[in-house]
C-alpha cells in the first residue's frame, strides 16, 4: 500500500518537524520513497509504502506530535520508484 503524508508544523515546532523528517523512525514493513520539504503549506510531504494500515499509522504518529498531518492512500500507476 502506498501513502502520501502531508504535514504542516504546529506553531513554534517547525524545527522539530524537520528533525523528525531527517531522523525518521521506520517501523517494520515501512519503506520511504520520497521526503520533501515544501516552500509553502504543507511544510513536508512524504511518499511511503507500508505493508498494512497499522504499520502506516505507527509511522505517521511520529509526525503528528508536532504537526497537523493528513495522509492519503495512493495508487502507483507507473514504473517509478
The tens digit of pLDDT for each residue in 40-51 reads: 999 999 999 999
Residue 81 lies in a domain: no
Cα 67 from Cα 72, distance rounded (Å): 16
Residues 6+ apart with CB under 8 A from 58: 27, 30
The tens digit of pLDDT for each residue in 13-57 reads: 999 999 999 999 999 999 999 999 999 999 999 999 999 999 999
Q: Which domain holds residue 13?
A: 2-74
pTM, full prediction: 0.90
* SS3 state of residue 16: helix
Residue 40 lies in a domain: yes
Q: Domain of 65: which CATH number?
A: 3.30.70.260
Per DSSP, 42 falls in state S
Residue 48 lies in a domain: yes
Helix (H) or strand (E) holding 44, with range, is strand 44-50
Residue 80 lies in a domain: no
Amino acid at each position: 500500500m502506498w501513502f502520501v503524508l502531508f504535514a504542516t508544523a504546529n506553531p513554534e515546532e517547525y524545527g522539530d518537524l524537520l528533525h523528525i523528517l531527517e531522523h525518521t523512525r521506520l517501523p517494520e514493513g515501512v519503506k520511504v520513497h520520497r521526503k520533501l520539504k515544501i516552500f509553502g503549506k504543507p511544510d513536508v510531504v512524504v511518499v511511503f509504502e507500508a505493508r498494512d494500515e497499522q504499520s502506516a499509522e505507527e509511522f505517521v504518529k511520529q509526525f503528528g506530535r508536532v504537526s497537523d498531518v493528513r495522509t492519503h492512500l495512493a495508487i502507483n500507476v507507473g514504473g517509478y520508484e
